[in-house]
Amino acid sequence: MRKALFFIVAASAVGLMAQEGQSYGTIQGGAAFRKVSNYFNDGPTFGLGAGHWFSDTWSLDLKALRTNQDIRATNTGTHEYQGLVSALYNLNPGAPNWYPYLAAGTGMTRMHAPLVDGDKNKINYHAGVGLMVHLTERVIFQGDLKALRVNTNGGHSSEMLALADIGYTWGGRKAAPAPPP
């Protein structure tokens, strides 16, 4: 009975950790790796991100990305724009300064011909893994890998995003002191 009560109290305290209420903004860079069957070459990607930890376990992460797209058969270059909304699940709740996480979400991708007729916004789905590390009290590094899928004319476009972010945090609560033994 005591063990069950202990686990119930411990589980309810997870939302009271130091990361809860913390928000962050980031600048990011990375690359988009595309399947060989895709019309476009791999390309660099840049963007901005923001997020908020609602508890020590769950965060909402937003990213706006611009990726270079060179069409494989020609020297024609274009850009792809993406907005990603992800839920992050912290795999190490209670850690003082590093948070490995799982990410999944949806968003919009601005597609270009030949994948769609003209320029169109298409819904994307993505999932991945990442790590957020506090370099100082307010400066963070965030790195993640995400598999992304966008439905296109008669098929889909798949790519892998590898992103590295540097950012600033604000808010959050101080961790409660440990109870005396």
Q: What is the pLDDT of residues 11-60, one digit of tens each?
A: 333 333 447 889 999 999 999 887 755 666 778 899 999 999 999 999 99
Q: What is the pTM of this model?
A: 0.78
Residues 72-127 pLDDT 10s: 666 667 778 999 999 999 999 988 889 999 999 999 988 766 656 667 788 999 99
* pLDDT score, position 148: 93
Domains defined along the chain, listed by start: 18-171 (2.40.160.20)
Where b means 16+ CB within 10 Å and e means fewer, 81-114 reads bbbbebebebeebbbeeebebebebebebbbbee
> What residues are paired with 14 via a beta bridge?
none
> Is the dihedral angle over the CA atoms 61, 66, 67, 73 positive or is it negative?
positive
Spatial CB neighbours of 177, under 8 Å, sequence gap ≥ 6: none
